[in-house]
Amino acid sequence: MSATMTMPTVELNVTEAAAVEIKKFMTDEEGLPETAGLRVRVVPGGCSGFQYSLNIEEAPRTGDNVFDKHGVRLFVDMFSGQYLNGVEIDYVSNMMGSGFAFNNPNSTGSCGCGSSFNA
């Protein structure tokens, strides 16, 4: 009997406001192929244990979950997927500035800076 590896289901949401900003960043990058997208990762670090990382990449990697949200392609690796399931990425502007905000229902705590979390 052969064992097959199934990837866990991951659901990642992006608001329209965030999609507009992501598209702006991607438009500013010259020479991106049609396969390009935004890598959304969780990496060790920050004052609470994990932090979010966003990078534009030319193509998904083997094993990535690939999402298309509001015309934006997102890449999520298997490690990050376990922490990003159910997360909503938003773009907010207020008196403190503007930037991407992560609404993470899996987070059990965060720090005062709002850019790291623990799960």
pLDDT tens by residue, 47-64: 667 888 999 999 999 999
Exposure string for 64-91, b = 16+ CB within 10 A, e = fewer:
bbebebeebbbbbbeebbebbbebebbb
pLDDT for residue 117: 47
In this structure, the number of other CB atoms found within 10 A of the CB of residue 14 comes to 24
Taking residues 19-37, report their average pLDDT: 93
Q: Beta partners for 88?
A: 13, 103
CATH class label, 13-27+35-110: mainly beta
**Where exactly are the structural domains of the chain?**
13-27+35-110
Taking residues 93-107, report their average pLDDT: 84
Of the listed ranges 2-16, 33-47, 71-85, 104-118, the one predicted with least confidence:
104-118
For all residues of the chain together, what is the average pLDDT?
A: 84
pTM for this predicted structure: 0.80
pLDDT for residue 94: 84
